[in-house]
Amino acid sequence: MRFVVAVVMLLVAGCGTAEVGAPAADGRVVGEVSTPPAPQSAKPKPKATPVKTTRKQVVETRPIPFKSKTVTDSSLPKGERAVRTAGVNGTRKLTYEVTYVGAKATSKRLIRQEVSKQPVSQVTVVGTKVEESTSNECDPNYSGCVPIASDVDCSGGKGNGPEYVAGPVEVIGSDIYRLDADSDGIGCEG
């Protein structure tokens, strides 16, 4: 075996004039063995941390809108409106079961609901009372009380009002409403 090693050394030493570590004529470095670079070790993958799943009960409060209704009131003048009872919203309590995976909510299920405060309906009144004619609203051209209006006709006649008078009435001034058709001084005769 010694002989083989000596021959190999001789052959290597005698194959050229280059020294060990010096470049040979063809560009190789004598005596150095080139080895491919060692593969970089891949970073080990971190072990997956198990994601925690939790369930919690969550309570939400929502408003219940109040309703409105209108009623008539014969003690208020016709057409007048007033709020008798102000409307108030109610509240409803909703309980959910929420499932979380990690910190993220993934599902939500309603498990209970209850009314915690009933709504109160708003009541608006509208007047229907019609004011009666008073003595100072009577036309001075007629005896009795013929109302002062844009037009007055005899009750039961063909006129279209808006006011009517039951006769007979005496014309004591100008017959501005033309109640005395036959001009005998008595209007709405029958």
53-129 architecture in CATH?
Single Sheet (2.20)
Cross-strand bridge partners of residue 147: 138
pLDDT tens digits along 114-147: 999 999 999 999 988 886 644 468 888 888 788 8
Strand order in the sheet with 81-85: 68-77, 122-129, 81-85
Does pLDDT of 10 surpass 50?
no
CB contact at 8 A, 54 and 102:
no
Q: Are 138 and 146 in contact (CB under 8 A)?
A: yes
Confidence of residue 28 (pLDDT cuts 50, 70, 90): low
pLDDT of residue 138: 87
State residue 35's pLDDT score.
60
The secondary structure of residue 10, as a DSSP letter, is H
Give per-residue pLDDT as tens, 59-74.
999 999 999 999 999 8
The residue-averaged pLDDT of 10-33 equals 53
Q: pTM of the entire structure?
A: 0.41
Share of the chain above pLDDT 70, in %: 73
Contact 166, 155 (CB under 8 A): yes
Q: Where are the domains of the chain?
A: 53-129, 133-190
